[in-house]
Amino acid sequence: MSLDAMINHDAARSAIAAAMGMDLTLGKALVQYLALFRPSKRSLSFDRVAALLEELVPMVQAGKVTRNGQHYAAPRESWKLAIETVLASRGTLQLPLKSHGYLLAVLIGAAEKLEAKLEQAKEAQRQGVAGAGSHRQDVVQGVTKLEVPQPKQPMPESVRQALKPKPK
């Protein structure tokens, strides 16, 4: 179909406008992803392309996914990686795809893994264990040694007593 014919078709025009709002690599990955929705014996209609993009583009632009009442961060880089993951597993997928369910599951899975790592780091920090990159390096006789931080120790009683306010 020529570009003129696509621009004159309302759904095609809408799909082009939606895809043009994305950076080139994400737009290209998105076009490849949309091909997974094409029925085997016919082409993907522009109405269907427009509907699929109208579902995805707002989530991509917002940088988040809402599913089952839960909100998940989904920056553009996560979308690219998730689409690439879906494309890499196309051999095991039942095609044509009917919904964005698998893509969203990949995105949410990645977001949950990241969230778990952040929570572990927060918990370690709360317990007084320094995180990665905050280790102190000591040079002893020309040899670099990594000092592993220890958990916080309770304040010694003698210090606690010295800090207590004196009765008047």
Q: What's the rounded mean pLDDT across residues 90-95?
A: 90
Residues 80 and 110: their CA atoms lie apart, in Å, by 12
What's residue 151's pLDDT?
A: 66
CA distance 61 to 70: 18
Six token digits for residue 20: 């043009």
pTM here is 0.62
Question: Does residue 49 lie within any of the structural domains?
Answer: yes
Query: Using an 8 Å Cβ cutoff, are 16 and 52 in contact?
Result: no
pLDDT digits (tens, 9 = 90+) for 131-140: 555 544 444 4
Omega within 30 of 0 (cis) for the link into 154: no
Return the closest-CA partner of residue 78 out of 104, 49, 52, 50.
Answer: 104
Which range, of 60-69, 109-118, 125-134, averages the lowest pLDDT?
125-134
Would 168 be classed as within a structural domain? no
Question: How many domains does the chain contain in total?
Answer: 1
Q: Which carries the bigger pLDDT value, residue 20 or residue 39? A: 39
**Distances in Å between the alpha carbon of 138 and those of 131, 147, 152?**
17, 7, 20
Residue 112 lies in a domain: yes
Query: Which band of pLDDT confidence, cut at 50, 70 and 90, is reported for residue 146?
Result: very low
Instruction: Tell me the residue range of the domain where 109 lies.
Output: 3-163
Whether 148 has a pLDDT exceeding 80, the answer reads: no
